[in-house]
Amino acid sequence: ATALLYFATTMSYSTYFKHYVILDVMFLAACYIWRAVAGAVAIDVRISEWLIVCTAFGALFLGFNKRRGEILLLDGRHAGTRKALAQYSPAMLQEFQAITTSGTIISYALYTVLGSPTKWLLVTLPYVLYGVFRYIYLMDQKGAGAAPDETLLRDRPIQITLALFVVTAIAVLVRGA
């Protein structure tokens, strides 16, 4: 069922929703949610509602920031771009960034307290905060937002933060088990 929902979401995006402002990013975010659900199904664990909310906000954060990075790279020239991209403005995307940043951080904090196996996972919150803030910094000051995957994989401070996050999360989960 999850694979069918993922396929339907992907096909809906590709054939229709990629042309509509806001819905383009929301459908891409839905694909990330289906992937998280599929992962839980694959390893046969209950997926927390908070993990779904956190995944949604994180995907929206990256998606709207990607659009903002693309617009900033185009420097106001929308000719020949996707129809939906031409309907975004940097100011609107900055508002979306503020909303999704808050949602991402709050939903992650709530996931660690209400949806994770141990409340001690909350000690990973500073890594999430730094990673989100660092990504915004790189986008705003370095113009590195148009390709989030490249930005996240090439920036040394984010790599170190990710490694520390993984080590801390594993230590907390093993100790809490």
Q: Which residue has the tokens 């500073």?
A: 126
d(CA 65, CA 136): 8
Amino acid code (one letter) for 156: R
- The CA-CA-CA angle for residues 65, 68, 69, to 5°, reads 85
pLDDT in tens, 131-176: 999 999 998 888 887 788 888 889 999 999 999 999 999 999 998 7
Task: Report the predicted TM-score, pTM, of the whole model to 2 decimal places.
Answer: 0.89
**What pLDDT, in 10s, does the model give residues 59-94?**
999 999 999 888 888 876 655 567 888 889 889 999
pLDDT digits (tens, 9 = 90+) for 29-69: 999 999 999 988 888 888 889 989 999 999 999 999 999 88
Residue 80 has a pLDDT of: 56
For residue 15, what pLDDT is reported? Answer: 94
